[in-house]
Amino acid sequence: MLRASSSLLPPVSSAPSLLTLIPSLNFSSSPLSEPFFTSSPVKFSLLHHQTMLSKKALLGTPDLPRRFYSSSFKGIPPMAGIHQFCPRGLTASFSAGSGGSESLSGSTAGREILVQHLLVREDDLKLLLELQKRITQGEDISDLAVEYSICPSKEEGGMLGWVRKGQMVPEFEEAAFSASLNNVVKCKTKFGWHLLQVLSEREESILEEIAPAELHEKMQDPSFLDEAQLIDVREPEEVAKASLPSFQVLPLRQFGNWGPEIATRFDPQKDTYVMCHHGVRSLQVAMWLQTQGFRRVFNVSGGIHQYALKADQSVPTY
């Protein structure tokens, strides 16, 4: 899982840091647990671009905890409606670890799972056993997470979001990907004891970068503009300087207004393209959209700045 780090590269000009926009982005939050994600789900090299956070910043230092979701960038909090994915009142059974004939879909390659969990300290076995018993008696793991979990994800009922192989610490990953649906699994990591539940599974979503020239070519096709969803996350004063047709403006500073409505304003099943000034803020939003169930998300590489330089020089630069 990701660890926060102060070793961030300087932000690109005119690209405000997410840390200044959303109050919940406190890198010195609860000291109770470290993150569980170990690597980024992003499939392209933009994470290594000099304008993005450094790899060290993404992997981080050992003492600063973050919530865990299926995105490796922890900048944007989950939608208020994330629990729409969480079936309530499930009958839970228990497993002490991984394995079993009813594990998820055989092979986990190319799969994502929706996971919630709670975490207790390693030496708090009495509480662990009590919670196991209460779950088997019908109590919901998300309710117990809110009350008892020492992980910051308790604020979302222990919801971790959609995760894939290679993102979590090995012990947690093995237990989660070997669990059968709705089965509550117990596992131990260096953070303590976990009770985790896999709620659903799906084909792995796509997050890729798209070159400005390729996007420009696509935009000449009217059918593309009818079918694709185009999002510009720059601020209004930036859009006034330069803009592209058909892009809907969702200013990142106003995330609190549009974030909870994202799945109703846009179709998660459609191709979604995200743009900003230099491609950094848009990548953050693109990664967050993945966690909200958007199946195919494309980040405009280099943002509108590179689009103006390489694809359409009639677009102003600033």
Percent of the chain with pLDDT over 90: 59
71's CB contacts (< 8 A; 6+ apart) are 41, 161, 287, 288, 290, 291
Pairwise CA distance, residues 297 & 268, whole Å: 9
Cα–Cα distances (Å) from 55 to 117, 125, 226, 261, 282, in that order, read: 27, 36, 37, 31, 18
pTM value > 0.75 = no
State both tokens at 126.
């009495």
Nearest Cα neighbor of 297 from 280, 272, 275, 270 is: 272
Mean pLDDT across the stretch 223-232?
95
Task: Give the pLDDT confidence score for residue 56 in this predicted structure.
Answer: 25
Task: Give the pLDDT confidence score for residue 164 in this predicted structure.
Answer: 84
Task: Give the pLDDT confidence score for residue 43 in this predicted structure.
Answer: 33
pLDDT digits (tens, 9 = 90+) for 20-62: 332 332 222 232 333 455 544 333 223 323 222 222 222 222 2
Minimum mean pLDDT range among 34-43, 117-126, 191-200:
34-43
Q: How confident is the model at residue 99 (pLDDT cuts 50, 70, 90)?
A: very low
Mean pLDDT across the stretch 131-158?
96
Task: Return the HEC string of 245-299.
Answer: CCCEECCHHHHHHHHHHHHHHCCCCCEEEEECCCCHHHHHHHHHHHHCCCCEEEE
pLDDT at residue 247 greater than cutoff 90:
yes
pLDDT at residue 206 greater than cutoff 50:
yes
Task: Give the pLDDT confidence score for residue 317 in this predicted structure.
Answer: 97
Q: How confident is the model at residue 304 (pLDDT cuts 50, 70, 90)?
A: very high
Pairwise CA distance, residues 177 & 161, whole Å: 14
CA angle 177, 183, 184 (to 5 degrees): 90
Phi, psi of 286 (to 5 degrees): -60, -40
Mean pLDDT across the stretch 94-106?
44
pLDDT at residue 155 greater than cutoff 50:
yes
Cα–Cα distances (Å) from 263 to 88, 108, 181, 270, in that order, read: 20, 26, 24, 11
Pairwise CA distance, residues 241 & 123, whole Å: 58
Pairwise CA distance, residues 173 & 60, whole Å: 20
pLDDT digits (tens, 9 = 90+) for 66-93: 333 333 333 333 333 333 333 333 445 4
pLDDT at residue 195 greater than cutoff 60:
yes
Percent of the chain with pLDDT over 70: 66
Residue by residue, DSSP assigns 19-32 as GGT-TT--TT--TT
pLDDT at residue 181 greater than cutoff 60:
yes
Task: Give the pLDDT confidence score for residue 144 in this predicted structure.
Answer: 97
pLDDT at residue 95 greater than cutoff 60:
no
Task: Give the pLDDT confidence score for residue 97 in this predicted structure.
Answer: 52
pLDDT digits (tens, 9 = 90+) for 156-169: 999 998 888 888 89
Other CB atoms within a 10 A radius of the CB of residue 24 amount to: 14
Pairwise CA distance, residues 290 & 204, whole Å: 10
228's CB contacts (< 8 A; 6+ apart) are 218, 270, 271, 272, 273
Active site residue 276: yes
Q: How confident is the model at residue 4 (pLDDT cuts 50, 70, 90)?
A: very low
Structure letter (DSSP) for residue 155: G
